[in-house]
Amino acid sequence: MASQLIARAGRAFGPVREARGVPRWIVWAGIVLTLLFVVMALTAPWISPYAFDQYKDASGQRFVKQQAPSSAHPFGTNVQSTDVMSRVIWGARTELKVVLFAVVVSLLVGLPLGLLSGYFGGPVDRVLVLIMDALFAFPYLLLAIVIAFLLSDKFGSGVATAAFAISAVYIPQYFRVVRNHVVSLREESYVEAARALGARPRTVIGRYVFQNVVQSVPVIATLNAADAILTLAALGFLGYGIQPTDAAEWGYDSSRALSDAGAGIWWTGLFPGMAIVLLVTGLTLLGEGLNDVLNPVLRRRKMEPVTLPPRAPQEDRA
Amino acid sequence: MAKPTTSLRTYALTRLALVLPMLWILLTLVFFMMRVAPGDPVTAALGGRLPEKELQERRHAAGYDKPLIVQYVDYLGDVARLNFGTTITDDRPVTDVIIENGSATLELTFWAMVVALSVGIGLGLVAGRLRDSGADVSIRMFGIVVYAMPAFFLGFLAQLLFGERLGWLPTSGRASPEVQFLLPTHTHLYLIDAIIYGDWATFKDVVLHLILPAATLGLIIAGVLIRLVRVNVLQTMKGDYIEAARARGIDEKSVVYRHAFKNALVPVVTVLGLQVALLMSGAVLTETTFNWPGIGFELVRYLNNRDYIAVQGIITFFALIVIFVSVLIDFVNAWIDPRVRY
């Protein structure tokens, strides 16, 4: 059983191992960068020098505010006297938590909605397409801000509010991709064959359509996660993300650092900003690399040297 | 096959007819989104700051004591007359906000697009032409990193380097306070106003203030363009007509410049329309970073003051822009590519 699982997992990673050339580098760079932040998020309590909201040391002495990087504070301290390095490390946890939440919610809503709407069509489909297209065309950040603003009025700002605001941006994307894919699949001959054999819609959708659609999800979800980190940071920057006392968030820290730039204080803005860039780059490379590696149209496999058997002497027929 | 002129007109009319449902849906979404949340906008913005009687009057003046459906119809009617309401917190018609602050955004986004198009198309063509070379890999990396860079972080770095360290460029606002005070406004576009005013020092001040915000926003959008142009060049270079051109003995240089690049840029126009969403989102962040008094900057300010009318008006305006641009792009597309006008 276990060996079977390992073999299955091994097969799933087959394309990654087989990849050659530039896609190979891209996918590995993406994996390494992303893992770096995942490890950072999981081990934050142990590797972070201080708590994310700690502004005093053990003896009760307040940290000097806006202190340049030193051995006690490798990334310096910010205007609120908290340790920048600790906030960067704890921030990884916040970003990944919110984005995971947001991507799962958007998938759970967008995927089934797209499947059903695309498969059954009809007036409901048409109305849904109109609404989703309208939402999709709208500037995504404004949509997220407005939703976060409205939700924070009712529920306060926190991980859930930020995650739902971000989901509102990505649900239309999943819906569109899945629905359009399903509409084209519906006309495929094997789907028609299944229907002709009398398969119920549930079977057709579950076995044939879903299995096909789900193939494109890892790539889209990874790329969307990259995008969602940017949206979350932007929400935080504008003050509609997570409150600084609840958790560390890179976008909020960046907004506080902005006024430091004029005074030449570079460490408060540089490190959270770098963290955003590296994590988003990592996820983008991973998504792009997976696309190059998994998509058979783009895939360039390893060239196997082929030795042909020596040509057997042929009888002259003439 | 109909005559091209006729079919272009038919296409335009069909496309325009399709605008209405989209417009109606966007406006309905905006209206109900803004009304689901608060009890009423007047209390949300001014509650506790004015006596109850005055709040009542204001609510009545703004029509918040009417049934929701009546308010909805009133709203649609107002938008049709391009009346976006009056802000609650500072009694300013939203139309004024759109004209005064919107022109600041227009100035910023126009020059940002100039930066984005020159950097994005230039680098994208080079990368596509030299596929898998060192230049291609570095340009692709540049594109990805720039895309991964939030506008506020790029802005922060620019302020640190060009503002604080080198002291070359101003990092805040559209002009120095004294210039802003003296410059007579005709168009609200400072660059044009400065030219009309005809004073070199004023013009220079306005240009210097524009450089960092426009470059920041432009570079962010260039990231997406690079990638798009590169992929399109790769695809066109595989086309049969490229092979045919080569077979006819046309030298490689003119195959690339006259045949491939031209065709590679056609699909870019379509996707450019989708970039408007990115441009507007980026503008909000860039404006906040550089204290650029644009419409995104104002939106954030009104959001913080919980001014629902202002927010609703500005969002409605954004919805109109989105629709306008999508129609415009479709027309341009139909005009350059006859296959679109079915």
| Distance of alpha carbon A317 from alpha carbon A315, whole angstroms | 6
Chain B residue numbers touching A262 (CB-CB < 8 A): 159, 163-164, 171
For chain A, give the mean pLDDT: 81
Domains present along chain A, CATH in parentheses: 21-47+83-301 (1.10.3720.10)
- Same domain? For B196 and B319 the reply is yes
Specify which residues A56 forms β-bridges with: A62
| Tens place of pLDDT per residue across chain B (342 aa) | 444 455 777 777 877 777 888 888 888 888 888 877 656 677 777 766 777 777 777 777 777 777 778 888 888 888 888 888 888 778 788 888 888 888 889 889 999 999 999 999 889 888 888 877 888 888 988 888 888 899 999 988 988 888 777 878 887 777 777 777 777 777 777 777 777 777 777 878 888 888 899 999 999 989 888 888 888 888 887 778 888 888 888 887 788 777 777 777 777 777 777 777 788 888 999 999 888 888 999 998 888 888 888 888 888 888 888 888 878 887 777 777 766 665
Domain of residue B36: give its range: 17-80
The alpha-carbon radius of gyration of chain B (Å, integer) is 24
Instruction: Single out the residue of B283, B119, B143 nearest to residue B213, CA to CA.
Output: B283
- Same domain? For B119 and B250 the reply is yes
- Same domain? For B105 and B39 the reply is no
- Same domain? For B66 and B213 the reply is no
- Same domain? For B171 and B285 the reply is yes
Across the range A252-264, mean pLDDT stands at: 80
Q: What is the pLDDT of residue A315?
A: 63
- Same domain? For B36 and B111 the reply is no
Assign B95 to helix, strand or coil. Answer: helix
CB–CB contacts below 8 A, A to B: 143
Structure confidence at residue A2 as a pLDDT band (50, 70, 90)? low
Is A98:A232 a contact under the CB 8 Å cutoff? yes
Is B83:B95 a contact under the CB 8 Å cutoff? yes
HSE-CB of A274 using CA atoms within 13 angstroms:
12
Is B95:B82 a contact under the CB 8 Å cutoff? yes
Q: What is the pLDDT of residue B1?
A: 42
- Same domain? For B160 and B292 the reply is yes
The answer to whether residue B136 sits within a structural domain is yes
Chain B residue numbers touching A148 (CB-CB < 8 A): none
Are A258 and B156 in contact (CB < 8 Å)?
A: yes
The answer to whether residue B8 sits within a structural domain is no
Q: Which carries the bigger pLDDT value, residue B69 or residue A58?
A: B69
**A262 phi and psi, to 5 degrees?**
-65, -25
Q: What is the pLDDT of residue B165?
A: 76
The answer to whether residue B11 sits within a structural domain is no
CA distance B198 to chain A (A): 32
The answer to whether residue B126 sits within a structural domain is yes
- Same domain? For B146 and B249 the reply is yes
CA distance B299 to chain A (A): 9
Instruction: Single out the residue of B25, B11, B302 nearest to residue A126, CA to CA.
Output: B25
- Same domain? For B76 and B136 the reply is no
- Same domain? For B76 and B99 the reply is no
A262 at interface of B, judged by CB pairs closer than 8 A: yes
Task: Inform me whether the pLDDT recorded for A108 exceeds 50.
Answer: yes
| Contacts (Cβ under 8 Å, ≥6 apart) of B118 | none
Of B47, B80, B113, the residue at which a domain comes to its end is B80
The answer to whether residue B6 sits within a structural domain is no
Domain count, chain B: 2
- Same domain? For B201 and B329 the reply is yes
**B132 phi and psi, to 5 degrees?**
65, 10
Of B45, B80, B115, the residue at which a domain comes to its end is B80
- Same domain? For B112 and B70 the reply is no
pLDDT digits (tens, 9 = 90+) for A147-168: 888 887 777 777 888 889 999 8
Chain A residue numbers touching B288 (CB-CB < 8 A): 237-238
Mutate which of A78, A146, A152, A171 to test chain B, going by most B C-beta atoms within 10 A? A146
pTM of the model as a whole: 0.84
Domain CATH for B248? 1.10.3720.10
Are A139 and B37 in contact (CB < 8 Å)?
A: no
A237 at interface of B, judged by CB pairs closer than 8 A: yes
| Contacts (Cβ under 8 Å, ≥6 apart) of A261 | A269, B156, B159, B160, B163, B164, B171
Chain B residue numbers touching A266 (CB-CB < 8 A): 160
Chain A residue numbers touching B38 (CB-CB < 8 A): 153
Q: Which carries the bigger pLDDT value, residue A98 or residue B4?
A: A98
Q: What is the pLDDT of residue A316?
A: 59
